Amino acid sequence: MEIVARAAAETLEGEAVRAAALRDGRVGRSVALRRVPAGEPVLDAAEAALLADVAACVTVARGGWHAVAARIGPAGEPEGTVAIARTSPFSAEERDLLAYLCEQANVSAGNVARHAALQQAEAHMRHRAFHDPLTGLANRALFAERVDRAVARQPHTAWCWR
């Protein structure tokens, strides 16, 4: 979320920027990347409006400040928000850009989770291939593989049997 927030802040020229992780539909851990006290109330309002709406991105204006907030994750179960505030209004293209960046962050997060699950499944299958399911002890295949590996590490010398 921080990476997306930093990229969006740079692109959209945000004066106040915040990324927040959500827990149970509420803002949990929040990280202020650019903190401007005057912009905090409009960031709060933008995050609240986003959580109350099913839209991927919302804009709010208060006290001369304008904010745009977008969710990371699906509408029913968002994982986080990115909110940016500045003194000039956001265009529709800027709002769409933030929504797109957050959508891509969600895709990337899903890919990371799938990769971790794949690694865990591979480790489980490797264990099942080399261990007895009843006792959990190493089997003949693991023994043969380790012997092959040990022999391959040794320098080739001539064996002489007398």
Contact between residue 94 and residue 57 where contact means Cβ atoms under 8 Å apart: no
CATH number of the structural domain spanning residue 36: 3.30.450.40
Conformation bin of residue 69: beta by default, left when phi > 0, alpha when psi is -120 to 50: beta
Question: 21 forms bridges with which residues in the sheet?
Answer: 80
Please give the order of strands across the beta sheet that includes 26-34.
26-34, 16-23, 80-86, 65-72, 57-62
State residue 65 phi and psi, 5-degree precision.
Answer: -110, 150
Which domain range does residue 107 map to?
A: 2-113
Examine the domain organization and report whether 6 and 73 are in the same domain.
Answer: yes
Strands 80-86 and 65-72: antiparallel
pLDDT per residue as tens, the chain (162 positions): 778 888 888 889 999 998 888 776 666 666 777 888 888 899 989 988 888 887 888 999 999 999 999 988 876 677 888 999 999 999 999 999 998 998 888 888 788 889 999 999 999 999 999 999 899 899 999 999 999 898 888 876 656 555
Domain count along the chain: 2
The first and second tokens of residue 143, run together, are 């023994």
